[in-house]
Amino acid sequence: MQYIPYLESEGINVDVSPLLYKDYIKVIYSGKKASYIRILISYIARLFILTNITKYDVLWIEKELFPGIPAWFEFVISLLGKRYVVDYDDATFLNYRNTLFPNKISKVMSMSSYTVCGNGFLMKYAQKAKAKKIKVLPTVVDLNNYTVKENKKNDVVIIGWIGAPSTVHYLGSIMDALVSLSENVILEVHVVGAFYDHPGVKIKCIPWCEKNESKLIQHFDIGIMPLSESSWEEGKCAYKLIQYMACGLPVIGTDIGANKDVIVHGESGFLAKSHDDWLKYLGALINNPEKRSVMGQFGRCIVEESYCTNIFLPILKNILTNKEEEL
Among 324, 316, 321, smallest CA distance to 5 is for: 316
Q: How far apart are alpha carbons 146 and 155 in whole angstroms?
A: 25
**Interval 308-314 mean pLDDT:** 93
What residues does 251 pair with on adjacent strands? 223, 269
Q: Model confidence over 33-52: pLDDT tens digits?
A: 888 899 999 999 999 999 99
Whether pTM > 0.75 for this model: the answer is: yes
Q: Which CATH architecture has domain 4-138+309-326?
A: 3-Layer(aba) Sandwich (3.40)
How distant, in Å, are the alpha carbons of 92, 122, 227, 266 from that of 233?
A: 11, 11, 7, 22
Q: Per-residue confidence at 322, pLDDT binned at 50, 70, 90?
A: confident
CATH of span 143-306: 3.40.50.2000
Residue ranges per domain, the chain? Answer: 4-138+309-326, 143-306
Task: Give the pLDDT confidence score for residue 24 in this predicted structure.
Answer: 84
- At residue 324 the predicted structure's pLDDT band, cuts being 50, 70 and 90, is low
CA 231 to CA 122: how far, in whole Å?
Answer: 10
